[in-house]
Amino acid sequence: MYFEVKKITEIFKNHFVKKKSFIPKGLCSVIITAVVAYLSLSSNPLDITSFQFTFPGIDKVVHFLMYFALVMAYLYDYCKFKLPHHTSLNIELMLTASAAVLGLMMEIGQLVFTNCREFDIFDCLANAVGALCGFLLMRFWGIHLLRHYFLASKHSHRSHHHHHAE
């Protein structure tokens, strides 16, 4: 009886509660990149001046958060793409650097394509620091959690305490 219940539970888990997302691979990265580009190149996208909680340097916080989220999305999508294999530090660093380069390109784009925004080296710095912090969080915490989450349904009958170093 116990064996049958366990087998039925396993079948149910595999068919109905599979930890598979229906989001196409890479879609998170594409959407967040498009949002960052829009926010970077439109005139006053968030109408920051109307916020009640505004403070000097809030735009730097927004830049930091945008590129933090961007790298988190890039590494999330990369981790999902690589499963069940481990991710490569070189590719993670390349994705992080490409986000920082995108930030630089958006600043240059503000200079060239808009007449209401201007290039700010401190925005570039905030972008790069946000990207680096997103990388660090994902590298040392997030990717492990994602692997555990996405592989848990495949290895639910085995313990998942062994991890291979890169």
pLDDT by 10-residue block (mean), the chain, 166 residues: 62 51 82 94 71 79 96 93 89 97 95 88 97 95 83 58 48
Compute the distance between CA of residue 164 and CA of residue 91 in angstroms, rounded to an integer.
18
Question: CA angle 58-63-68, nearest 5°?
Answer: 125
Structure tokens at 100: 């920082």
> What contacts 124, CB < 8 A, 6 or more positions away?
100, 103, 104, 107
- 46-58 residue pLDDT tens: 665 666 677 888 8
Instruction: Specify the DSSP class assigned to residue 44.
Output: S
Q: What is the pTM of this model?
A: 0.74
Per-residue model confidence (pLDDT) at position 47: 67
Give pLDDT, residue 51: 63
The pLDDT of residue 13? 54
